[in-house]
Chains A and B, each alone.
Chain A
Amino acid sequence: MADMKGTQLIHEYLRHNKKFPHVFCAGCGHGIVLGSLIRSIHGLGLSKDEVCVVAGIGCSGRLAAYVDFNTVHTTHGRALTFATGIKMAKPNMHVIVVMGDGDSMAIGGNHLIHAARRNIGVTALILNNNIYGMTGGQCSPTTPSGAFTMTSPMGQMEQSFDCVELMTAAKANYVARGSVFHVKKLDKMIMEGISNPGFGVVEIMTPCHTQYGRKNKFKTPVDMFKNIKDTVISIERYNQLSEEEQASRIPSGVFVQKDTPSLEEKFYQMAASCQGGA
């Protein structure tokens, strides 16, 4: 397997005879994330049996069904709670959670901050397309102020969450932001997230031209990718910009990298000493 490249490698991990064609729109970024996830797992040399992919509900949630790992498609917003149970029960598994921005930060916001606070050793990939894709384009907690959606027809009036700030404040062990335009960097972030002992979160800026683009002057996938290319810039570049210039940009890179032991590691150490072991 080691010398496989590109699509050949990806095919090795897909449930090709069972689950295709897939449900994603042509030009959706979710497929690119799937590719990145596969390359990262392969790059880390993990076996299929030691990986569990847990997904929430949304277009992003469908991703789990396509890959040949242990996969669990859960309820809307609660993927992290299932993942927490799996990780507590099987601390040696690599549990990777895939969520949308609505899934993770609206209905699942409470679980997200608590998963970060308790530092459970799972990796969360947040596929942020600034919109509710699957339900037809309603605004999400990350829809930018002023953006048009089905439920903000006059422009979004609420403020939006900054996932990186939220996760940093909630004490996640590893916090990064990447995009589907910068896949090499994204692969690296996902690998680092998985390798981190505690809660790792990678926010991934990804396009939904069907629901977001259509209403906000980015009708085609190409328009959306160009927009991601122009707005998602490295932290270093971002820091050199004036405040005014920063307002229309999104910094990307690794924001937090700690090696605090995970909750399950601490739990099993405590249990071992209670049972008279180490």
Chain B
Amino acid sequence: MARPRKKKNTEIFALGNEAVVEGALLAGCTFYAGYPITPSSEIMEIMAQRLPLIPNGSFIQMEDEIGGLGAVIGGSLAGRKAMTATSGPGFSLMQEHIGYGCITETPLVIVNVMRGGPSTGLPTSPAQADVQQARWGTHGDHSIIVLSASNVQECLDNTIEAFNLAEKYRTPVILLIDEITAHTREKIIIPNEDEFEVFNRIVPTMPPEWYKPYEETVRGVPPMPAIGSGYRFHVTGLTHDTNGFPTSRPDEVRELNERLFRKIDQFLHDVQIVDEIDTDDVDVAVIAYGTVARSAELAVKQARELGVKAGLLKLSTLFPYPRKATEKIMAKAKTIIVPEMNMGQISREVKRVNNGQVSVRTINKVDGQIITPAEILKVITRV
């Protein structure tokens, strides 16, 4: 008797930006709103073609990025999995609405294909300059989930992950990509439906009169009904009580603010995604993310060939910063090297975790060029 054959994976040759779209659609995204900007525009252009082809898909080009994210929040409140994509200047315009997404606990995904800056900067060159903006760009204290991708396959995988985390924790998730990965074309595998998990937001099941939209739950994440589904409640960017109405009572204010942190921070193992490469015995460890992690991977291999015990900690999650994974590698290595296409936005976090225990070296490049394997290897072999 013939065994049922496992369906063959589809392989395609795709741009990073195309892979983001594939990932989003696999994750169940049916809503896109945005405003075009290099080097992210392909994401929007392909969404404009693909979304009308799927049932319940909708696409709208707004008048600016503020409007783009406003519409995405509206779409998500109405029950859709919604996303937008942008680059530096557009990301800056979105900041107020990112904060709104955080306090109203609206799941959504923002892809920022980073360009060099400040200002309109280098529209077609790679950079990793928006890392701290993704963490702290909007006003007010809040937790946030920021992911990155270092190759085209990860553009797909981590976009799915971004949607899952957004839905699971009812929060905006930011995916940072740099221009090289966004515009690199390589072979990727589109997984079969049974090979990846899709998480959908939890909807309330109690009668509408019982429902309190911002009440504490075991996970800290309240269930979320769609607008128009019979649960009528108030959504506001003002600090609100468990009913969703504005409050300034210190106990209610504290409870909301603390829960917004807690709901993410108590599940760090779930949200902090990292890869370790050659780290079993390691003297020199590189911590890298994005395209630079690719250079670092090659540099580490070459260093091993030269007899240096080198390893790589590759970060898919940038925030909440993977502290445990960093501590673990610091316990083994004597030197940590952090190469970045910025003046040191993740090395700040590494140094914060390190607190003076091991030597932390940075490689910073802000000339619109990638950091090459040779540049990283040179530092590895010198220490």
Contacts and interface: CB of A to CB of B under 8 A. Distances in A.
Contacts of B80: 89
A110 B237 CA distance: 21
Given A50-B228, A89-B75, A65 B246 contact: yes
Interface string A90-114: 1011000000000000000011001
B245 A18 contact: yes
Contacts of B233: 70-71
B63 A89 contact: no
B58 A81 contact: no
Contacts of A72: 74, 77, 227, 234-236
B209 to A, nearest CB: 11
A200 to B, nearest CB: 18
A75 B227 contact: no
Interface in B16-46: 31, 33
Interface string A126-138: 0000000000000
B55 interface: yes
Interface centre among B53, B54, B73 (most CB of A within 10 A): B73
B100 A74 contact: yes
Query: B interface, by DSSP: helix, strand, loop or mixed?
Result: mixed
Interface string B240-280: 00010110000000000000000000000000000000000
A19 to B, nearest CB: 6
B73 A82 contact: yes
B219 interface: no
A72 B237 CA distance: 9
Interface string B55-88: 1011110111011111111111111101000000
B337 to A, nearest CB: 42
Given A18-B245, A86-B77, A114-B63, A71 B234 contact: yes
Contact of B234 (A50, A73, A267): A73
B96 interface: yes
Interface in B90-136: 96-97, 100
Contact of B75 (A54, A85, A275): A85
A11 interface: no
A50 B226 CA distance: 12
Given A18-B245, A75-B237, A274-B53, A81 B228 contact: no
A158 B291 CA distance: 51
Contacts of B12: none
Nearest to A90: B78
Nearest to A113: B63
A265 interface: no
Q: Classify the secondary structure of A's interface with B.
A: helix
A171 B361 CA distance: 59
Nearest to B51: A271
B67 A111 contact: yes
A217 interface: no
Interface string A42-79: 00000011101010000000001100111111110010
Given A85-B71, A111-B67, 14 more contacts: A49-B229, A49-B232, A70-B232, A72-B234, A78-B67, A82-B73, A84-B33, A85-B70, A85-B77, A85-B82, A89-B58, A90-B78, A111-B63, A264-B58
Interface of A: 15, 18-19, 48-50, 52, 54, 64-65, 68-75, 78, 80-90, 92-93, 110-111, 114, 263-264, 267-268, 270-271, 274-275
Interface of B: 31, 33, 51-55, 57-60, 62-64, 66-80, 82, 96-97, 100, 226-230, 232-238, 243, 245-246
28 contacts: A50-B228, A54-B74, A65-B246, A70-B232, A71-B234, A71-B235, A72-B227, A72-B235, A73-B236, A75-B70, A75-B100, A78-B66, A80-B70, A81-B67, A81-B71, A82-B70, A82-B77, A84-B62, A84-B71, A85-B82, A86-B74, A89-B82, A90-B78, A92-B228, A110-B63, A114-B63, A267-B59, A267-B60
For the complex of A and B, the 8 pairs showing the least CB-CB separation, nearest first, are A85-B74, A81-B70, A85-B71, A89-B78, A73-B236, A271-B52, A82-B74, A81-B67
